[in-house]
């Protein structure tokens, strides 16, 4: 315990004594941690954007005007029982008619044509949302099989074929973005490790003679490394806290752009996941500092 206290004290004293180097190290590590935090934001924004786009894609099932409402509701219940289906929205014939009329209320020709018909020309519809965009085809096949199995077909059509191109493109883009995000994260993580390592190694370079003296008088490697690991950990913790503070005005300033581009409030996401950011950024900073210090001091342990 005494040795541990001495190591802690030596780490704090060294950081305070080398204030200029400490500020430089904290600055570089802050930039590093902000890059990691920015990747977290980007990943969340992309996920929310993909969810938003997926929510706009569905399979619409159109029914003939003579279809029995109970048969439609039975199909709705069967679809809701499928594991691939998130939910099913039923729109009656009358609701479809009123919605169409409201959308074209300024078009006198269409309104006049509807009044001339004297009856509702529209059938009921079901809008089917999938749990995942890759499952739309299974839902569509189920509807088609059900249509072919009926003695008296009551399904007029389903619009999956028209949406298939959009759905396929969405799946390709989603997979591409996920792979690209992993590659970018790996590249930036490696660069961050290299930058942090070299910065802390520069800080340790100023104490190389002190390390040599300690080694000559019999100090153990861990006793020599200890203060520098404490110092590096402090750099990382401080850098993590500074990053968290800087992300507040940055995320607030970018909330309008994030809503316009990704349909997501980046500031609200940051506030609601603040503890997650605290854990990741501060812990990442502490680990980066400690590991980099451990590796950087190794060069000066041989006398």
Per-residue pLDDT tens digits for 52-94: 776 777 778 888 888 888 888 888 888 888 888 888 888 888 8
Residue 291 included in any domain: yes
Q: What is the pTM of this model?
A: 0.65
Secondary structure of residue 8 in the 3-state scheme: helix
Domain match, 217 and 139 both: no
The pLDDT of residue 274 is above 80: yes
Domain match, 87 and 185 both: no
Higher pLDDT, 290 or 278: 278
Alpha helices in 104-254 (DSSP H): 108-117, 136-149, 160-205, 208-216, 221-253
Domain match, 214 and 254 both: yes
Secondary structure of residue 84 in the 3-state scheme: coil
Domain match, 76 and 186 both: no
Residue 244 — pLDDT band, cuts 50, 70, 90? Answer: very high
Sheet with 59-63, edge to edge strand ranges: 85-91, 125-130, 59-63, 155-158
Q: Is the dihedral of CA 297, 298, 301, 303 positive or negative?
A: negative
Domain match, 45 and 93 both: no
Element (H, E) at 126: strand 125-130
Domain match, 192 and 266 both: yes
State which of 153, 188, 218 marks the end of a domain: 153
Domain match, 48 and 75 both: no
C-alpha count within 13 angstroms, C-beta hemisphere, residue 202: 13
Question: What domain range is 73 assigned to?
Answer: 65-153
Residue 163 included in any domain: no
Q: Which of 131, 128, 134 is nearest to 168 (CA)?
A: 134
Domain match, 175 and 272 both: yes
Rounded CA separation 124/133 (Å)? 24
* CB burial of residue 254 (10 Å; 0-12, 13-18, 19+): middle
Residue 252 included in any domain: yes
What six digits make up the tokens of 11? Answer: 């780490």
The pLDDT of residue 303 is above 70: no
Domain match, 209 and 276 both: yes
Domain match, 108 and 257 both: no
Rounded CA separation 265/45 (Å)? 9
CB 101 within 8 A of CB 114: yes
Residue 277 — pLDDT band, cuts 50, 70, 90? Answer: very high
> What mean pLDDT value characterizes the chain?
78
Residue 160 included in any domain: no
Rounded CA separation 287/163 (Å)? 47
**Mean pLDDT value across residues 225-244:** 86
The domain tally of the chain equals: 2
């Amino acid at each position: 315990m005494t040795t541990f206290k001495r190591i802690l004290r030596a780490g704090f004293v060294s950081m305070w004594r080398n204030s200029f180097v400490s500020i430089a190290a904290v600055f570089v590590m802050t930039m590093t941690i902000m890059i990691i935090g920015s990747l977290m934001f980007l990943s969340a924004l992309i996920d929310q954007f993909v969810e938003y786009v997926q929510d706009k894609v569905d399979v619409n099932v159109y029914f003939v005007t003579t279809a029995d409402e109970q048969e439609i509701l039975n199909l709705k219940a069967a679809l809701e029982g499928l594991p691939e289906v998130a939910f099913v929205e039923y729109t009656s014939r009358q609701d479809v008619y009123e919605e169409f009329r409201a959308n074209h209320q300024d078009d006198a020709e269409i309104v006049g044509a509807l009044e001339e018909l004297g009856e509702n020309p529209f059938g009921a519809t079901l809008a089917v949302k999938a749990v995942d965009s890759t499952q739309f085809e299974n839902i569509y096949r189920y509807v088609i099989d059900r249509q072919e199995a009926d003695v008296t077909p009551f399904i007029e059509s389903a619009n999956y074929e028209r949406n298939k191109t959009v759905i396929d493109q969405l799946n390709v883009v989603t997979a591409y973005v996920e792979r690209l995000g992993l590659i970018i994260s790996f590249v930036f993580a490696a660069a961050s490790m290299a930058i942090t390592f070299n910065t802390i190694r520069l800080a340790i370079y100023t104490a190389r003679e002190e390390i040599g003296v300690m080694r000559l008088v019999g100090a153990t490697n861990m006793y020599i490394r200890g203060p520098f690991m404490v110092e590096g950990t402090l750099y990382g913790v401080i850098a993590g806290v500074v990053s968290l503070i800087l992300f507040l005005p940055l995320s607030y300033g970018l909330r309008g752009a994030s809503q316009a581009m990704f349909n997501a409030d980046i500031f609200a996401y940051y506030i609601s996941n603040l503890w997650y950011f605290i854990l990741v950024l501060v812990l990442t900073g502490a680990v980066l500092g400690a590991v980099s210090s451990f590796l950087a001091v190794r060069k000066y342990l041989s006398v």
